[in-house]
Structure formats: C-alpha cells, structure tokens
Amino acid sequence: MHIRNPQPGVDRGDRTTLVLQISQQVFIPDNEIEFSAIRAQGAGGQNVNKVSTAIHLRFDINKSSLPDFYKERLLKLADHHITGDGIIIIKAQKFRSQEKNRADALVRLQALIRRVTAVKKKRTATKPTRSSQSKRMDSKTRHGKLKTTRSRVSHNDH
C-alpha cells in the first residue's frame, strides 16, 4: 500500500494546510481532523507516566468534506472506532514519540476510509460436483457407523 500523507495542500493565505490523501480526487484537509495528546497506557515507566505521547484522533464524518458516497458507507460500517454520532476516534500509542503516533493515526484513518471504497465481488452460487456430494455422503455413513460402535452392548439373558 503506497501512502502519501500528510501532503502539503491548499494554500490558505498565511499558512499551508496538510492534507490526507484518500484517493486521486478525495482529500481530507487538516482542519477536519482533531488531534489531542494524551498519556499512553501500559509499561514504559517514567516516560509513559509523565509524557503525553499517545494521540487521540477525532474525525467527524457528517461535518467532513468527504463525498456523500464515502459518508454513507462509513456510517453503515460496523467498526468500534466509529461512534453512534458518526465520529471516528483512533487512539495511537504504538510509538514513543508524538509525531510517529500522529502519523500512525493518520495512516489508520486513511486505511479505514479506503476500506469502505472497496466494492466486494458478488458471489455466484454453484452446484457441488457429483464427486464432492458422494464424498460427503460416504463420510456421513462412516461417521454414523463409528457412532453405532460406541453404543452400549446389551446383554439379554432371557
């Protein structure tokens, strides 16, 4: 997967915004993505307890400039990163630096959005072959015979 992010983007007067590229025509400007630094969890000693290196990324699907096609698919997606209000929340804490965690969060957001654009191939139903049917029936009869040998032996001494 070739990832080109963040990309220098649109010049807005005095500052240039960073852009996350989703496809050839679809970009997300940085003002739609909210980052907040938090303390990471887990082992790491003093560094983890004192330094806020983990990143919380928040992206509001409804307020974004994404095309409606993307928005509809993202809102339908059953993913634990997407809240009921349509906000994607990604927590990145894999690395020890804020910059690397920020880049990781952006890559994961990009992957999540790209995942909804993939159109699944429709499955065409096929009939099982004659040999596969006969193999299935043979295995069923073999299994049935094995089960009958497991039954209790009755001693009828009449």
Tens of pLDDT, residue by residue over 102-147, are 899 999 998 988 888 888 889 999 999 999 999 999 999 999 999 9
Architecture of the domain made up of 7-117: 2-Layer Sandwich (3.30)
Nearest to 105 by CA among 65, 69, 53: 53
Q: Give pLDDT, residue 157.
A: 58
Q: Is the torsion defined by CA of 128, 131, 134, 140 positive or negative?
A: negative
CA–CA distance, 135 with 51 (Å, rounded to integer) = 63
* 3-class DSSP assignment, residue 158: coil
CA–CA distance, 135 with 103 (Å, rounded to integer) = 53
**pLDDT in 10s for each residue of the chain, 158 residues:** 344 444 434 444 444 456 788 887 888 888 888 888 888 777 767 766 777 888 888 988 888 888 888 888 888 888 888 888 888 889 988 888 888 998 999 999 989 888 888 888 899 999 999 999 999 999 999 999 999 989 887 777 55
User: For the chain, what are the domain ranges?
Assistant: 7-117
